[in-house]
Amino acid sequence: MESISLIDGLILTFVSILLVFVVLGSIGILTELVSKLVNKNDTTITTSQIEEKESSTNNLNSINPLKINKNNRLAAEMIALVFASEDMPNRKFEVVESKRIK
C-alpha cells in the first residue's frame, strides 16, 4: 500500500473543501432562481387597489357588522392583558368583566 505524502494530503483536502463550496454555492444559486421564478407571478398592489379594498370593507362592515364570538372575545381579552402587563411584568391579572366598546 502506498503512503500518502503531506503535500498529497493537503492537495486532497484543498480540493475536497473547494468541491464542497462549489456544491453549496450552486445549491444556493438554484434556490434563489427558484424563489425568483415562484415570486415572478406575484403582482404588486397599487394604492388605488388598496383604496378600493378599503372602501369595499367599509361597505361590508356597515352592512354586516361582526358578530360577537366567544373565542374572539377571549383572544381580545388576552391581548389586552398582555398590553396591560407590559409595564408590570411580575403581576397577575384576572378578567372580571368583559364589555364591548364601539
Within-domain flag for 58: no
Within-domain flag for 40: yes
Q: To which residue does cell 483536502 refer?
A: 13
Which pLDDT tens digit goes with each residue over 61-96? 454 455 667 777 778 778 887 787 777 767 777 777
In this prediction, residue 68 carries a pLDDT of 65
Q: To which residue does cell 456544491 refer?
A: 23
Domain count, the chain: 1
| Residues 6 or more apart whose Cβ sits within 8 Å of residue 73 | 98, 100
Within-domain flag for 23: yes
CA 51 to chain centre: 25
Residue 50 predicted with pLDDT over 70: no
Within-domain flag for 27: yes
In this prediction, residue 65 carries a pLDDT of 52
Within-domain flag for 10: yes
pTM over 0.85: no
State the residue range of the domain holding 30: 1-44
Within-domain flag for 66: no
Which pLDDT tens digit goes with each residue over 4-16? 899 999 999 999 9
Within-domain flag for 1: yes
